Amino acid sequence: MRRCIALLVLAACAAPAATPRQVLDVTGIDYAYAAPDTVAAGEAEIAFHNAGTVLHEVKLIALRPGVDLATVLPLARVDTGWAAYREPTSGILTARPGERTPGRLLVTFEAGRHYLLICHFADTDDAPLHSELGMAKVLVVR
Ligand SMILES: [Cu+2]
């Protein structure tokens, strides 16, 4: 009986360690994102830091195959106009000026897909969207 208990302990110790998720650090400034151009396929945590002086968000949206930033960006102000070019929003992180989000967005990046990072905030009701000022970026999944 003692021998069986010893074997069970060894088996538990020999289990492979979980693969760590990649962390994608996204920094928002007035008005752009600093983030890698490419990411690896698989699970990832997105962390958002607002280094700007106004409220920013980062929305993560998978684009439909063949759709690029130039196609979708002019449509971003009209929610119904660009629905055909994208998948539903995967998640949103919002941070006040100078802050990091306390939580992270967990996503599974699909190989070969393109994901849009975009901020739809505007500084006033009649101001342009931050995306129109340059706060939009495409990530390509390797
Ligand atoms: Cu913004």
Distance (angstroms) between ligand 1 centre and the Cα of 118 equals 8
The string of pLDDT tens digits covering residues 122-131 is 999 999 999 9
Distance (angstroms) between ligand 1 centre and the Cα of 63 equals 20
Distance (angstroms) between ligand 1 centre and the Cα of 50 equals 9
Where exactly are the structural domains of the chain? 20-141
pTM above 0.75, yes or no: yes
The string of pLDDT tens digits covering residues 99-112 is 999 999 999 999 99
Distance (angstroms) between ligand 1 centre and the Cα of 46 equals 16
Question: Do the Cβ atoms of 93 and 48 come closer than 8 Å?
Answer: yes
CATH dotted code for 20-141: 2.60.40.420
CA 112 from chain center: how many Å? 16
